[in-house]
Structure 1
Amino acid sequence: MSTTSNYLPVRAQWLASGTEAALEPDMPIIDAHHHFYERAGWTYLLDEYLQDARSGHNITASVYMQALTRYRASGPEQLRPAGEIEYVAGVTAPLQQGGPQVAKGIVGYADLRRGAAVRDVLEAELQAGDGRLRGVRHLVTWDADTSLVNPLSAAPRGLLLDPTYRAGVAQLGALGLSYDAWLFFPQLPELFDLAKAYPDTPVIVNHCGGVVRIASYTDQRKEVFDTWSRSMRELAQLPNVYVKVGGLGMRINGFDFDKGERPPSSTQLADAWKPWMHTCIEAFGADRCMFESNFPVDKGSYPFSNGWNAFKRLTAQASDGERQALFRGTVAKVYRLA
C-alpha cells in the first residue's frame, strides 16, 4: 500500500458544502492532538491549523503530535527528529502569549528501540522544546494484514514486549515525559502489559485504541467491537492510562464518511461514533479521556467544526464537570499545560 493511499484526500470544496456553524461557540477547548504536515502534495502547517482552529469553536490551546515534519537535514541520525520539535516550538512561540496557544504541549519522536541509549536524545529534545516537550510517541502499528500498515510507520511484531524497547520507554518516566501509543486494537493487550510495567509513566492511547474495520476486518464488525471493548475495559483498570477520544475519521476505521455526496453532519458523526466513544468514556471516566481533532488526518472525512459539534452532541447529557474534563481538563492535567 502506498503512503498516500493510507490517507483520505482533503477536498476543500466538498468540506465547504457541509460545514456547520459551531454549537456552544464560547466553550473553551484544548485540542488534545493535531499535526503539521509537509509532504508531497499535502501541506498543513500553522496557518492551515489556525484557519481551522479559528473557524467557530473556542480552541484556546492544543497539543502538537509528531508527524515526521521538518527533521534536521544533517547531524547524528538519532538527533534529527529534534528538528521537528525545534520548528514547532519556534513557529508557535508568538502564540503562547495569546490564543490559541497552539502547541502549548509538544509530543515528539525518539527511537525508543535504542533502549537506555535514547536518554541523550530525550535530553536534547527537551532542550529543543523550549520547555514545552511533554512526551514521546513511537508508533508500534503492526498487523498480519500488511495492507493496513503505513510504510512510514511500520513496526515489527511485538515491539511493545521487546526488552530493549521497554528500556527506552523506561527513560520517559525518569525525565517526567509521557508515552503516546498509536497501535491497532489487537495490540491493546500488549499495551496493557507495558503500561502495567511502568505505572509511573502516563500512557495515552491515541484515537480510541486503534479501531480497524477494513481489509481483513471488514466482515468482522461485531467481533472487532467486542474484542476492542474488552481490551479497552482491561486497560481502564490501570490508573496511568488515558484515552484520546477522536481520530475516527481515518480510512482504517471503515466509517466511509468520505463517500457521501456531502460531508457528514455532526449528528451523523455522533450517531456513528457513539458506541465507541461512550465505551471509552464509561470505561475510563471523563477525567481520563480527552477529545482530539486529529487534523489534518481526519480532515478527509469531515470539517473541523462538524467534528467538535459531534463531540458536543455526544456529551449533551454529561455533567458540567465531565464536559470540562473531556474538552480541556484531562488534557491540561496529563500534558501539564497549566
Structure 2
Amino acid sequence: MTQSTSLPGISSSTLPPLPIPVRPEWLALSTEPVIEPELEIIDPHHHLWERPDNRYLVPELLEDLADGHNVRATVFVQCRSMYRSQGPEELRPVGETEFVVNSTRGLTADQPKVAAGIVCMADLMLGDAVVPVLEAQIAAGEGRLRGVRTMTSSHPDVSSMFGKMPERRLLDPMWRKGASHLSAHGLVCDIYAFHTQLDEVRDLARSQPDLKIVLNHMGTPLLSGPFAQRRAEVFAEWKTALAGVASCPNVVLKLGGAGIHVIGFNFHERELPPHSAMLAEAWRPFMETGIELFGVERCMFESNFPVDKGQFSYRAVWNAFKRLSSGASAQEKAQLFRGTAARVYRLNA
C-alpha cells in the first residue's frame, strides 16, 4: 500500500492515508477519572499490527486495557497485517489469524481475553472457491474465528486506509456468492462501508436474510474532504440510509470508529487531547440515532484502536460511551457494552 506522509483527514485522499499518528506525549496532556469502573466491557473491534511508524501489538493493547475500564474480552478485526509471505495468494491472509492466536497464547487467566473472537480476511470475490479459505481460517483460529471482513468501503472522491476499492462491490454477484457461504460456517460478515453505500448494505441484508451482518463504525458518515462543508446534509442522508439498514433484522451496528480520518472530527488538530465530555457531545447525534434505529440489542460500542488512538485515549473513548449511555438502564448498558457483542460473536466472557 502506498503511504501518505501528510496527516489524514485534511488531504484530497488521492493516496491511501496512514492512520492519524499516535502521539503518547500529546495524549498524556489530558487525564480524567474513569467513569463506572466496574461496568463490564467487551471491546468488539480492535487491530494488532507492527508497521514502520506504528506498533500496536498485545503489550500495547494490554496497556490500554489496563487504563481503568473493566474490559473482560476483545474481538480482533482484520487489518491486512502479518500475512503469509508465501503460498497461494488466497491463503496468505491466514497468516494474520495464525499471528493473533500465537501472540495471545501466553496470557493468563486474570488478564482480559484478548482476541476471544477473531474476524479474519477472506476474499469473497472467490465465490464458491472461498470455502477452502474459510476452512483454513477456521482451523487457524483454533475455535476463535467468528467472522470475515473484506475491503468494501468505496467512494470516487474518498480513500480509506485500504486505498481505492472497486465501487459497488457489495452488489457484485461473485462477492455475494462468497458471502453466501459464511452462515453455513458459523461466521458473521463485518462490513466497513461509507454512508454513501448504505443502500447497498440494505440490499445485501435483504438478499441474504440468513447472513448476520455487523456494520462497522456507525455506517461511516463522511464528514471530511468533499463532504466537509456539507455536514448537515450528510447527517440527514446518513440517517435516512441507516434507517433502511436498521429495517433489516439481520444487521447489528457498531457504535464507534469516530476517530477515522474520513469521518472528519479532527480532534488531533487541537492543542490538547479531547476530554470525554467533548467527545460525547460531538458524537451524540450519531450515537443516539444509531441506538434509536437499531435498539440496544443490536448495538455495541467499539474502540477501533489503534486507528482512533490518534485522536483520543482509550480511557476517554470509553468514558464518552458511558456519558452517552448515562440515561440508560443497567440492562440496556449491559447490552451496549457487553451483551450484544457476546451474543453476536458467541463469546463467553
* Same structural fold, with TM-score higher than 0.5 when normalized by the shorter chain: yes
How much has 1:269 moved relative to structure 2? Answer: 0.2
Partner of 1:105, secondary structure, is strand
Q: Identify the range of structure 1 (125-134 vs 3-12) with the bigger mean alpha-carbon deviation.
A: 3-12
1:128 CA displacement: 0.2
* Consecutive unaligned residues in structure 1, runs of 5 or more: none
Structure in which a larger fraction of residues adopt helix: 1
Aligned mates of 1:240, 1:95 — CA distance in 2: 34
In the alignment, the residues of structure 1 paired with residue 152 and residue 260 of structure 2 have an alpha-carbon distance, to the nearest angstrom, of 17
Could you tell me which residue of structure 2 aligns to residue 198 of structure 1? 208
Query: 1:32-84 CA deviation, whole Å, 9 max, x = no partner?
Result: 10001211211110000000011110110000000111111111111110011
Alignment CA distance shift 1:153-1:22 (3 Å): same
Query: Which residue of 1 is the match for residue 191 of structure 2?
Result: 181
After the TM superposition, which parts of structure 1 deviate over 6 Å for at least 4 consecutive aligned residues?
A: none
Cα distance, 1:152 vs structure 2: 3.3
Q: Which amino acid aligns with 2:273?
A: P
The answer to whether residue 276 in structure 2 is matched with residue 282 in structure 1 is no
Corresponding letter in the other structure for 2:330: D
1:9 correspondence with 2:21:
yes
**Within the alignment, does 1:242 sit opposite 2:252 as a pair?**
yes
1:261 aligned partner, one-letter code: E
Candidates 71, 77, 94, aligned match of 1:65: 77
Instruction: Name the CA shift for 1:313/1:41 in 2 (closer, same or farther; >3 Å).
Output: same
- Do 2:49 and 2:82's aligned partners in 1 also have CA atoms closer than 8 Å? no
Aligned partner of 1:300 in structure 2 is 310
Query: Is the contact between residue 41 and residue 338 of structure 2 (CA under 8 Å) also seen in structure 1?
Result: yes
Greater Cα shift, 37-46 or 120-129: 37-46
Tell me how far 1:211 sits from its aligned partner.
1.5
Q: 2:227 aligns with which of 217, 221, 226?
A: 217
Cα distance in 2, alignment partners of residues 3 and 93 from structure 1: 35
Whether the aligned pair in 2 keeps the contact of 1:140 and 1:154 (CA below 8 Å) is no
Q: Tell me the residue number matched to 2:12.
A: none
Alignment RMSD (CA, Å): 1.3
| Residues 1:42 and 2:54 are matched in the alignment | yes
For the 8 Å contact 1:244–1:292, the answer to whether it is kept is yes
Give the one of 211, 219, 230 matched to 2:240: 230
Distance 1:176 1:37 in 2: 26
Q: Give the distance between the partners of 1:68 and 1:57, measured in 2 at CA.
A: 28
Give 1:254's aligned residue: 264
Could you tell me how far apart the structure 2 residues matched to 1:40 and 1:150 are?
Answer: 19
Write the distance in 1 (CA, Å) between the matches of 2:41 and 2:218.
Answer: 19
With over 3 angstroms needed to count, the CA separation of the structure-2 counterparts of 1:209 and 1:151, relative to structure 1, is closer
| Cα distance in 2, alignment partners of residues 78 and 96 from structure 1 | 34
In the TM superposition, residue 99 of structure 1 has moved relative to its aligned partner by: 2.7
In the TM superposition, 1:126-205 aligns within 5 A as 126-145=138-157, 148-150=158-160, 152-205=162-215
Q: Which residue of 1 aligns with 2:133?
A: 121
DSSP-derived class of the 1:62 partner: strand
- The CA distance in 2 between the partners of 1:123 and 1:256, in whole Å, is 41
CA deviation string 1:197-251 (max 9, x = no partner): 1111110000000111111111111110001001111111111100000000121
Contact kept in structure 1, 2:256 and 2:301, CA below 8 Å: yes
CA distance in 2 between partners of 1:287 and 1:317 (Å): 16
- For 2:181, what is the secondary structure of its paired residue? helix
Secondary structure in 2 matching 1:103: strand
Tell me how far apart the structure 2 counterparts of residues 195 and 40 of structure 1 sit (CA, whole Å). Answer: 38
Deviation of the 1:2 alpha carbon: 3.7
Equivalent residue for 2:91, pick from 79, 93, 109: 79
Query: Offset of 1:176 from its aligned partner?
Result: 1.1
2:301 to 291, 311, 321: 291
Q: Is the 1:214–1:253 contact (alpha carbons within 8 Å) kept by the matching residues of 2? A: yes
Measured after TM superposition, the shift of residue 186 of structure 1 is 0.3
| Cα displacement string for residues 98-127 of structure 1 (whole angstroms, at most 9, x for unaligned residues) | 330000000000111111100100000000
Greater displacement, 274-283 / 229-238: 229-238
Paired letter, 1:193 = D
Task: Select the residue among 321, 326, 329 that pairs with 2:331.
Answer: 321
- In the alignment, residue 67 of structure 2 is paired with which amino acid? S
Query: Retained in 2: the 8 A contact 1:139–1:153?
Result: no
TM-score relative to the length of structure 1: 0.97
- TM-score (ref. length: structure 2): 0.94
The alignment partner of 1:242 has SS state of: strand
Q: 2:46, 2:75 within 8 Å by CA — same for their partners in 1?
A: yes
1:331 equivalent to 2:309? Answer no
Shift of 1:267: 0.3
Instruction: Tell me the distance in 2 between the aligned counterparts of 1:3 and 1:172.
Output: 34
